[in-house]
Chains A and B, each alone.
Chain A
Amino acid sequence: MKAPIDRRYAETHEWFLQDDDIVTLGITQFAADELTDITYVELPEVGRKVSVGDAVGEVESVKATSEIFTSVAGVIVEANVALADHPELINDDAFEEGWIAKIKVESPEALRSLMTAKEYSTFLRG
């Protein structure tokens, strides 16, 4: 399972990509594949303040419903509205087109405690 090395990963299968004070959040391709065809995404509200461990949305597939958790604290500044009509973007391209939300963070080292791509790959094999 390939995981891009430019970002960090949580055990709950979200990815976090930091660009200055904006962290983009999505779910991994592994999680998308596990869920099978995604049919609905509950997006977080822009402007909402979130803490580490908060559920910021939900992804639903024909098989299951799964919550999306944030591993960074901050304020939601953007949600991927394209997912409202095309939730399958997550299955097709979980790491790029299928991003879920952008969070403005205060800490420049917000991702430090999260897994690297290599660690996440090992975690998946575990």
Chain B
Amino acid sequence: MTETLLRTPLYDSHVQFGARMVEFAGWEMPVQFRGIVEEHVHTRTACAVFDVSHMGRLKLTGPDCEPFLDWICTRNLRDAEVGRSYYSHICREDGGILDDVIVSRFEDRWGVVCNASNREKIIEWLRSHLGGRNVEIADETRSTAMVACQGPRTLELAREIAGTDLSGMKRYHFTVRPLGTVSIAIYRCGYTGEDGVEVVLPAGLTALLIPKLLGTPESPHPVICPAGLGARDTLRIEAAMPLYGHELSEDWDSLSAGQGWCVDLDKEFIGAEAMRKVQAAGVPRRLVGLELDGRRIARQHARVFFGGSPVGEITSGTLSPTLGMSIAMAFVPAEHATPGGAVEVEIGGKLIPATVVKLPFYKRPQSR
């Protein structure tokens, strides 16, 4: 393959800060700077900056956006409020999950953030399901950047650096701040289980923003450090946040993927009929947490055993830096989903004892 990898507006900064770059969904992205575990711990205790510009950012305008997105998404968006973001799935008629997205309602438009790996598929899906509705879809992925600042000290640092107080803004709310002739959107969202914000800004403004957040390689910011996709993955596993291609795929519907909370079966949407049938027949499997004995990591597709027979499959696993133990998520039948239950996970030809636990593995301390 000689396909050229895409680079985000933060590419030069990553290289300057010593990132190890890898290919991810067609993009050249930093997997780590100083080390995955170090960046993970830093995010849990202070503040880390992640480049998430590779994720797809779509802008929808036109009078029919609300009914259109409500028809496309599993989440009820009919009551969507301006200034709020909604986690949702986009599914096929048979319920198969095409992607998980964040839908945000602005005053004059809607925003959809989708996975980098699914961007083209989702744009095509939206365009081909317009059905004559008056909706314009624009892909703003390349013209903007998206930076996630995550960690318990994020809001304090936002006050210090930008003089902006975000503490009154609830999670999954956002605000738009004008900056000269352009604007910056700040979302109180994240994919780490920590408090924090995600900032979407014009690509050309990153050269101004990054030195304010990170300093320079010679004189780095005393608190904020850059972090890569490696830490992003271990953080989201501890927080039990699903990742497309692991917990979510076209092979299963949202209910069977353990994400029924983002599905409203009382409304009509693409995939609703199929999911009502799943609901009526009984959701065939559950997403559970597992704590494994020892230090070995259960990888995706590793088999889960009970009484010598395979009963399920691992979706994600890691050695949790926060808990100091091997954790994993897995799909198992309902009868093996009770917390405290014992199962085994096949790693390297051996069966490793594991205990079923409630998700998430990690919850940030409240009210700080």
A, B co-complexed: yes
Cβ–Cβ contact B348 & A62, under 8 A:
no
Q: Does B36 interact with chain A (Cβ within 8 Å)?
A: yes
> CB-CB < 8 A to A62: which residues of B?
36-37, 230, 233-234, 297, 318-319
> CB-CB < 8 A to B35: which residues of A?
36-37, 91
Cβ–Cβ contact A60 & B296, under 8 A:
yes
> CB-CB < 8 A to A87: which residues of B?
295
- Using an 8 Å CB-CB cutoff, how does the interface string of B260-300 with A read, 1 for contact, 0 for none? 00000000000000000000000000000000001111010
Q: Which of B20, B233, B297 contacts A60 (CB 8 A)?
A: B297
Cβ–Cβ contact B32 & A36, under 8 A:
yes
Q: Does B77 interact with chain A (Cβ within 8 Å)?
A: no
> CB-CB < 8 A to A116: which residues of B?
none
Interface residues in B221-247 (C-beta closer than 8 Å to A): 230, 233-234
Q: How far is the CB of B242 from chain A (nearest CB, A)?
A: 18
Q: How far is the CB of B342 from chain A (nearest CB, A)?
A: 22
Cβ–Cβ contact A33 & B20, under 8 A:
yes
Q: Which of B20, B36, B37, B319 contacts A40 (CB 8 A)?
A: B319
Q: In the bound complex, how far is the Cα of B37 from the Cα of A39, in angstroms?
A: 10
Interface residues in A80-116 (C-beta closer than 8 Å to B): 87, 91
Given contact pairs A62-B37, A63-B230, A65-B299, A36 touches B319 in the complex (Cβ within 8 A): no
Q: Which of A39, A42, A91 contacts B319 (CB 8 A)?
A: A39
Given contact pairs A62-B36, A62-B234, A39 touches B297 in the complex (Cβ within 8 A): yes
Q: How far is the CB of B284 from chain A (nearest CB, A)?
A: 30
Given contact pairs A62-B319, A63-B36, A40 touches B297 in the complex (Cβ within 8 A): yes
Q: Does B31 interact with chain A (Cβ within 8 Å)?
A: yes
A91 (CB) vs chain B CBs: closest residue: B35
> CB-CB < 8 A to B233: which residues of A?
62
A40 (CB) vs chain B CBs: closest residue: B295
Q: In the bound complex, how far is the Cα of B348 from the Cα of A36, in angstroms?
A: 20
Cβ–Cβ contact A36 & B296, under 8 A:
no
Q: How far is the CB of A81 from chain B (nearest CB, A)?
A: 14
Cβ–Cβ contact B20 & A42, under 8 A:
no
- Using an 8 Å CB-CB cutoff, how does the interface string of A20-63 with B read, 1 for contact, 0 for none? 00000000000001001101101000000000000000101111
B234 (CB) vs chain A CBs: closest residue: A62
> CB-CB < 8 A to A60: which residues of B?
295-297
A42 (CB) vs chain B CBs: closest residue: B348
* B residues neighboring A (CB under 8 Å): 20, 31-32, 35-37, 230, 233-234, 294-297, 299, 318-319, 348
Q: Contacts A37-B35, A39-B297, A40-B297 given; 13 further ones with Cβ under 8 A?
A: A36-B32, A36-B36, A39-B319, A58-B348, A62-B37, A62-B234, A63-B31, A63-B36, A65-B297, A65-B299, A65-B348, A87-B295, A91-B35
